[in-house]
Chain A
Amino acid sequence: MTERDEDRPEATWRSLEALDGDAGALRWRDGEFPDLARATATGRRSLLKLMGASVALAGTAGCERLPAEAPADPIVSRAGATPGHVPGEPLFFATSLPLEGYGRGVLVESHEGRPTKIEGNPLHPASLGATDAFAQAAILSLYAPDRLRAALRRGGGRRRLDGTLAQLAAEFAADGGAGLRLLTGPVSSPSLTAGIASLLDRLPEARWLQWSPVGDGNRLDGAALAFGERLETRLDLARASVIVAIDDDPLGPGPNQVANGAGFIAGRRDPARFSRLWVFEACPSLTGARADRRFPVSPRAVPAIARAVAAALGVVPPADDGVELPPGLVEDLRRAGPAAVVTAGRRAPPEVHALVHAVNLALGAVGTTVHHTRPVLAGAPSGVAALAALAAEIDAGAVSRLVVIDANPAYDAPADLDLARRIRRVPFSLCLASRLDETAAECLWTLPLAHPLESWGDLRAPNGTVGLMQPALAPPAGTMTALELVARLAGSEAPARELVRGYWEQAFPPGEFEAAWLRTLHDGVVEGTAFEEIPVRLAPGWEVPPPVPAQGEGLTVLFAPDPSVWDGQFADNAWLQELPKPLTKLVWDNAILIAPATAARLGLANGDGAVLELHGRALEAPVWLLPGHAPDCVTLPLGYGHRRGDVARGLGFDAYSVRRSEAPWVDGGAVLQPSGRRHLLATTQDHGTMVGRDLVRSVPLARLAAMAALGGEAGGEAAGEEAGEETEVAGEDLPSIYPEYDYSGPAWGMAVDLNACIGCNACVIACQVENNVPAVGKEEVARGREMHWLRIDRYWEGDPADPRIHFQPVLCMHCEKAPCEVVCPVNATVHDSEGLNVMVYNRCIGTRYCSNNCPYKVRRFNWFDYADEGGRPEVTANPDVTLRERGVMEKCTYCVQRIQKARIQAKLEDRPIADGEVVTACQQACPTRAFTFGDITDPASAVSRAKASPLNYGLLEELNTRPRTTYLARIDDPPAPEEAS
């Protein structure tokens, strides 16, 4: 507790605003958002309330300010009109969001100057119109409660830093930047790279290094070994017919998840050319979940497997290390040739990547399924080695000035480097951070970093294409971007916009810059900036035998980025914290992931505390049994156990605290013992199997052709069939006592393609943002009160040691014969003339009877006043969707607000609603286009065509609810019996 208290920023920090401007700031806040003034009360889930309060001081220049004495609910005349802005109509800005330095193009929907929703940018190669979960949640981190808004000095101080930046620049210039080290996150931005370059020209003594705790550098180093130069490697899974992932997760979260997912599914839509996915991995991943043949292997075995594959294809001489490749693998690769691809992950050492590159080259895959370009990230030294070097320099006293930009080494550096203590030893340290994180707490000065949605800049997509960043709202006074800080240190006063513009002015032909610039801002991408492919040849003597992992005693430990908070940078985001992790379904926590068998051997069960000892360091954490995890090794998800941050602090455990710089990804010799403690872990799905019911259906590729011929139902081959469950008759021919409707206008329906779902969670959070669904906090989720309208059910099937993994997005089925409607005493949930099962919040009195009678349990109830406390300031909510009050039921509406919008637009233009004009939030976010939505009365509509597929089936259709949301069974390519042996 005391440790907590002295941890609290305000205890040790004084901001300049706190000294003079604060009272003013508060009055100003109360004036602008009267409804937020009261949000500062503490109480149950005060954590989330706090987030409500935070908006008050977050960037607000985007919209008008009301004087404090504003009448309740006034009408506002603005001082002057804004060109192009129609009151009540949203504006969209194209910009880019960074992840690991790479850019992901997005469109920001902004109502009256307030960003409310993020969509993908169809023109952007890393988005293609879709987004990942992180991008969707960016809106909320814009309003993180603990965002810095003023320059801070360690221990408090009165000097205004804006003055001193110029002095600093002068000081630096005076001695050529001697002892100056610039530590940034990974940088792909051309303008920032140029800016830093010019800074370094000015300061020849200074050095620049990049740091990311989950960087993918090994892949490039592997290329350096194989081809003699560091090269980017990009996969084109759409063209692949055989994919072998060796401890890699191309479908998992990361800068290129969307493109990879889209490509992978594109290669599996057509049964005629259906790619086959082989996965070797220790910890089940999204890729593993979609594998046709998955092999849980210890990471120790990875180098040997890679070498065996290479040897089998004659790339390297065979070695008798007794590695037995599964039958059919090599034949598959040979058969596919150029259409095959082998890939290894960030955990694999460079030597393994070198092997993989060589294999792809030998297969002829390079140029078809694998593309090598020059590196997207800047060339400055990066990775653990660079960081270790910095630590050494600090010890040697060679570092007198340290500037950290948008990186958090004090938290996420390997434990043995102990940068927290070392940074404090540097005489002058300056940190540009969005909040008072672990690093900022150690630095002498901290400057507030502008949020990407408030920034001018540019970012490169994995294929090199540049996406421009433009602010959707003006940053709060005092914050600055990395580009600006670098410019300041180089003595320039230009604002970010000028800096970016200035950089691109040279890039365009002189005459037509203005036009091109406007077009680029509109599109969000700079044409023709994709890198062209670089032809590669094996470098002489490329082959270096992979390091044989020490056969130490004890368990092997893997480190992995967390699917919800990544490396920890999203830990302050309540939406992502509450986003169920795709496989564990845990929220607000991380846990030591372990195979059920291993756990049983150690006498551990879900939620049991365990002490993990790793080379002299130890941590205590709960374990979580993960079917399909390789035995005798455990996975430690990174990104939790923060020591700073109002939301992040104290959640989960800090895996970095046992990470060593010599073994940052895979470590051996760990000892795991029960600690006797019990931990409360909140999960959104308690029960993981289908208990023999055919909920998720899948069809083996082999049977597909036959079925199509029969035109029969997918039901025949139910996932549950092994358990002997017979599929029952479809609803249509059963009689019903419910009223019949005949629809003249459109009648809405949806088809969810289970074959396309990779379980990435983008839809879940997109739905949450679009529909103002609150986050409720860990305790409430633990009570079973999560509010997500759209959930992804995850089922295990078969042997817990190596199960098949199923994902099934479940949203309101909008039953034609809706059981919920007949039991509501007040007509609060009713059928409408377009077949929607509409929920009328303001009519609901909260009997909750409808939820009882909903077999899909998709209804959610406002047990408390979540809308007030749910972590989303009211002013940032989607104005087209009502905020639900305490005590009312809610559920998926098929984004009825978007339907109405389309209808009104069509009416204004006096035309019918076109097919595909209504796009639901989940559908729009989905990288693999698993959702199809439209008018089911129109046989030509995309959704009707989808539902005509023999794979189409209704969930629990035997109940005769006639769901309008139906599923397309998953197609699988399981090993034929003879292979399986």
Chain B
Amino acid sequence: MADAGAEAPHPPHGAIGGVVLRQRFGWRWLAAFAAAVAGSLLFVYATVVLVVRGVGVWGTNIPHVWGFDIINYAWWIGIANAASLMAAAFTVRRAPWRSALNRFAESVALFSVICAGLFPILHLGRPWLFHWVFPYPATFGVWPQFRSPLVWDFFTILTHLVVTASFWYVGLIPDLAHLRDRARGALARKVFGVLALGWRGSARHWRNHQRAYHTLAGLLVAMAVFMQSTVSTEFAVTLVPEWHQPRYPLYFVVSGLISGIGMVLVVALLARHFFELHGFITQRHLDVVSSLLIANAIVIAWSYAFEAFSSWYASKVELQSWLLRATGEFAWLYWGAVACAVLAPQVLWWRRMRRNVAALILVGLLVAVGIWLDRFMIVVGGLLGDYLPSAWEGYSPSVWEWPLLVGSIAVYGTLILLFLRFVPVIPVFEVHAGRRDEDGDEARDEDGDRSGEDDR
């Protein structure tokens, strides 16, 4: 019946719950899931090796003390921040069409922050002592050093995890109740029942829920920006020639944002394709996302330009260091980043491209890749041309670094697949509301109304 509903412009919202409640696992889902789990196991293995033998298993050295560990971290945290920023912004603006994308964004955010959170611990020389970063009254009477961005980072990640998780879950509660009511099996009913925390959909419930939901959203908007700039200080406060730059906070927010949006786009489109959600994720959504991508890409382009300029303007050392990045051993990273993160999104100026699912997915992935290359270029490229030429060294990732990247993506994939399968990918209650708004003539607010205009 979900299929039947998929054709209708406004299908019965049962279709979404149907995805979850239909108990058959498609073979595609199973195959993907198997692959993802296998990848996650690889991640576990690489981690075990790392902890048993030491960070020396990586290709890191002096001066390149950071490798994939921090590259991946910076990449994931960017996606996480961006996705939650996106979701929160939609919610705060009460954009009526947002409902289709919100939960994808929330989930992407939650799962990426989980992946991101692993790396700062794994990258330590003595990971089993990571709790020393946390201020607690230890018997040796020493406290953390609060001037260090790593301490700030520790807190941002923690906050992020908590807030995003609660945002995600709070948004989920009514739908869990919805599933509880529509579930057939007694077990399923019980499980969803517990998770729904006794939601009965009373007016009071709704009021509190909306209040909580929007408060969290408000929090997230502010924090996503704040947290992402915090990550950037990790580089900006140092005196490494290519890191010590004023553009960094903005640059990190924007570059993070584009990767997050790309990721959301990809996940949403895949879900739409496999679960026939065309009725929910419409062209207007794709257009909105596309324009966001383009806008970001332009700001990133500016950021690169500004970097080149400031390097030239700042000092000879900075310039040499920048040239080394743009023309040296790792030049392909630099230009790869430019091509993927700046140029690729530009194709979305063309309507045909925006309508072409394959193209959109490709752009989404390219952007994500581009930002990863960009992080690589920051972490490694920054130290290529340091102050003392005698200390210049190369860096090449070892066989124990790739599994961490592939593995973390697999972990992410596993979570996404579980999400697609066991949670309503689109907020049922929002669709309710959305439909009520659009059926009723009077719009709830001009803002929503204007954006409610369909540009088809």
- When distances are taken between beta carbons in the complex, the residues of chain A under 8 Å from B142 are 826-827, 843
Closest A residue to B235 by CB, please name it.
A852
| Residues 780-817 of chain A, each 1 if its beta carbon lies under 8 Å from chain B, else 0 | 10011100000101110000000000001010000000
- Whether A863 lies near B387 (C-beta < 8 A) is no
Specify which chain A residues have a CB less than 8 angstroms from the CB of B390 in the assembled complex: 685, 687, 695, 791, 793-795, 808, 810
Interface 1/0 per residue, B38-77 and A, CB below 8 Å: 0000000000000001111001111111100000000000
Given A825-B145, A825-B148: A861 and B125 interface contact (C-beta under 8 Å): yes
How far does the Cβ of A108 sit from chain B's closest Cβ, in whole Å? 33
Interfacial residues of chain B within 428-448, with CB under 8 A of chain A in the complex? none
B150 in contact with A849 (CB, 8 Å): yes
Q: Name A826's contact: one of B53, B145, B238 (CB within 8 Å).
A: B145
Question: 12 interchain pairs (CB within 8 A)?
Answer: A687-B390, A690-B389, A810-B388, A821-B145, A822-B147, A823-B238, A825-B144, A825-B148, A827-B145, A862-B54, A959-B239, A959-B387
Contact status B238-A852, CB under 8 Å: yes
- Asked if residues B124 and A846 are in contact (CB atoms below 8 Å), the reply is yes
Given known contacts A686-B394, A784-B393, A863-B55, A852 and B65 CB-to-CB distance under 8 angstroms: yes
Q: How far is the CA of A825 from the CA of B147 in the complex (A)?
A: 8
The answer to whether A46 has its CB under 8 Å from any CB of chain B is no
Task: Find out whether the CB atom of B148 lies under 8 angstroms from the CB atom of A856.
Answer: no
- Whether A693 and B317, one on each chain, are in contact in the complex, defined by CB atoms closer than 8 angstroms, is yes
Tell me if A845 and B388 are in contact (CB < 8 A): no
A128 to chain B, nearest CB (A): 30
Kindly provide the distance from the CB of A315 to the nearest chain B CB, expressed in whole angstroms: 45
Cβ of A864 and Cβ of B392 under 8 Å apart? Answer: no
Would you call B56 and A863 a contact (CB within 8 A)?
Answer: yes
Question: Bound state CA distance, A281 and B49, in angstroms?
Answer: 52
Interface size classification for chain A: 35 or more
8 Å CB contact of B320 from A691, A793, A851, A886: A691
Please give, as numbers and ranges, the residues of chain B lying within 8 Å of A845 by CB-CB distance. Answer: 124-126, 129-130, 132-133
Known: A823-B238, A827-B143. 15 other contacts (CB 8 A): A686-B393, A693-B387, A693-B389, A780-B56, A819-B239, A825-B148, A826-B132, A827-B145, A846-B55, A849-B150, A851-B65, A857-B63, A863-B61, A886-B54, A888-B126
Which of chain B's residues have a CB closer than 8 A to the CB of A888? Answer: 125-126
Of B62, B126, B149, the residue contacting A846 (CB under 8 A) is B126
Q: Would you call the interface of chain B mostly helix, strand, loop, or mixed?
A: loop
Interface residue? A692 (CB, 8 A) = yes
- Residue B123 CB within 8 A of the other chain: yes
Contact with A along B300-314 (1 / 0, CB 8 A): 000000000000000
With the chains together, A888 CA to B64 CA distance in Å?
16
Known A686-B394, A846-B55: A822·B240 in contact at CB below 8 Å? no
Whether A785 and B147, one on each chain, are in contact in the complex, defined by CB atoms closer than 8 angstroms, is no
List, in ascending order, chain A residues with CB within 8 A of B150's CB: 823, 825, 847, 849
Question: A844 interface residue, CB < 8 Å from B?
Answer: yes
A-B CB proximity, top 7 nearest: A846-B125, A887-B125, A863-B56, A784-B61, A848-B65, A857-B391, A825-B150
Closest chain-B Cβ to A797's Cβ sits at a distance in Å of 12
A501 in contact (CB, < 8 A): no
Find the A residue at minimum CB distance from B234. A849
Question: Residue among B143, B148, B390, B393 with the most chain A CB within 10 A?
Answer: B390
A689: nearest residue on chain B (CB-CB)?
A: B389
A862-B125 contact, Cβ under 8 Å, with A686-B394, A825-B154, A851-B62:
yes
Query: Is residue B406 contacting chain A, with contact meaning CB distance below 8 A?
Result: no
The listed residue with most A CB atoms (<10 A of its CB), out of B59, B62, B317, is: B62
The chain B residue sitting closest to A728, CB to CB, is: B315
Bound CA span A690–B133, Å: 39
Q: Across the interface, name the chain A residue whose C-beta is closest to B389.
A: A687
In B62-111, the 8 Å CB interface with A consists of 62-66
B347 at the interface (CB under 8 A from A): no
Q: Chain B residues with Cβ under 8 A from A855's Cβ?
A: 239, 386-388
- Residues in A with CB closer than 8 Å to B389 are 687-691, 693, 695, 795
Q: How far is the CA of A819 from the CA of B148 in the complex (A)?
A: 11
Cβ-Cβ contact count across A and B, 8 Å cutoff = 156
Give Cα A864 to B237, complex, Å.
Answer: 29
- Chain B proximity of A849: nearest CB distance (Å): 6
Asked if A865 CB lies within 8 Å of chain B CBs, one says: yes
Q: How far is the CA of A539 from the CA of B390 in the complex (A)?
A: 53
A922 to B110, CA, bound (A): 54
Interface check A898, CB cutoff 8 A: no
Residues of B within 8 A of A687 (CB): 389-390, 392
**Binary CB contact string for chain A from 690 to 733 against chain B (1 if under 8 A, 0 otherwise):** 11110100000000000000000000000000000100000000
> In the complex, A693→B389 CA distance in Å?
9
Q: How many residues of B contact A (CB 8 A)?
A: 47
Q: Are A725 and B143 in contact (CB under 8 A)?
A: no
Query: Do A887 and B62 have beta carbons less than 8 Å apart?
Result: no
Taking the closest CB of chain A, its distance from the CB of B168, in whole angstroms, is 29
Contact for A852 among B124, B133, B154, B240, CB less than 8 A? B240
- Whether A384 is near chain B, meaning CB under 8 Å from some CB there, is no
B-binding residues in A (CB < 8 A): 685-693, 695, 725, 780, 783-785, 791, 793-795, 808, 810, 819, 821-827, 843-849, 851-853, 855-857, 859-865, 885-889, 956, 959
Nearest CB in chain A: distance from B203 CB, A: 48
Give the complex CA separation of A755 and B79 in angstroms.
Answer: 54
| Cβ-based interface call for B383 (8 A) | yes
Residues of B within 8 A of A823 (CB): 147-150, 237-238
Specify which of B123, B124, B240, B394 is in contact with A853 (CB 8 Å cutoff).
B240
Complexed CA–CA distance, A29 and B430 (Å) = 76
Q: Nearest chain B CB to A542's CB is how many angstroms away?
A: 49
B388 touches A725 (CB 8 A): no
* Measured CA separation A695–B388 after assembly (Å): 8
The docked-state distance in angstroms from the alpha carbon of A402 to that of B149 is 71
Instruction: Tell me if B239 and A861 are in contact (CB < 8 A).
Output: no
Instruction: Say yes or no: is B188 at the interface (Cβ < 8 Å to chain A).
Output: no
B238→A853 contact, CB < 8 A: yes
Question: A864: which B residues are within 8 A, CB to CB?
Answer: 53-54, 56
List chain A residues, Cβ under 8 A from B316.
692-693, 725
A955 CB to closest chain B CB, in angstroms? 8
CB pair A848–B238 under 8 Å, yes or no, is: no
Residues of A within 8 A of B123 (CB): 847
In B196-239, the 8 Å CB interface with A consists of 237-239
Residues of A within 8 A of B417 (CB): none
Instruction: Write out the residue numbers on chain B whose beta carbons fall within 8 Å of the beta carbon of A780.
Output: 56
* Distance between B391 CB and nearest chain A CB, rounded to angstroms: 4
B295 at the interface (CB under 8 A from A): no
A859 with B148: in contact, given A845-B129, A853-B240 (CB under 8 Å)? no
A855→B142 CA distance, assembly (Å): 27
- Contact across chains for A826 and B144 when beta carbons are under 8 A apart: yes
Q: B250 contacts which chain A residues (CB < 8 A)? A: none
Please determine whether A863 and B54 come into contact, CB atoms closer than 8 angstroms. Answer: yes
Whether a CB of chain A sits under 8 angstroms from the CB of B37 is no
* B135 CB to nearest chain A CB (Å): 10
Name the residue on B nearest A585 (C-beta): B390
How far does the alpha carbon of A822 sit from the alpha carbon of B142 in the complex, in Å?
Answer: 16
Residues of chain B within 8 A (CB-CB) of A693 are: 316-317, 387, 389
- Is B270 interfacial (CB 8 A cutoff)? no
Query: For residue A691, which residues in chain B have a CB less than 8 angstroms away from its CB?
Result: 320, 389
Residue among A843, A845, A888 with most chain B CB within 10 A: A845
Q: Are A824 and B145 in contact (CB under 8 A)?
A: yes
| A795 proximity list for chain B (CB < 8 A) | 389-390
- Bound complex: CA A959 to CA B62 (Å): 20
Cα–Cα distance between A795 and B149 once the two chains are bound (Å): 35
Question: How long is the Cα–Cα vector from A827 to B392 in the complex, in angstroms?
Answer: 27
| B151 interfacial by beta-carbon distance below 8 Å | yes
Hey, which chain A residues are within 8 Å of B63, CB to CB? 784, 851-852, 857
Shortest Cβ gap from A151 to chain B (Å): 42
Chain A residues, Cβ within 8 Å of B317? 693
In the complex with contacts A783-B59, A784-B61, A822-B148, A686-B129 CB distance below 8 A: no
A507 to chain B, nearest CB (A): 51
| Contact (Cβ within 8 A) B144 A827 | yes
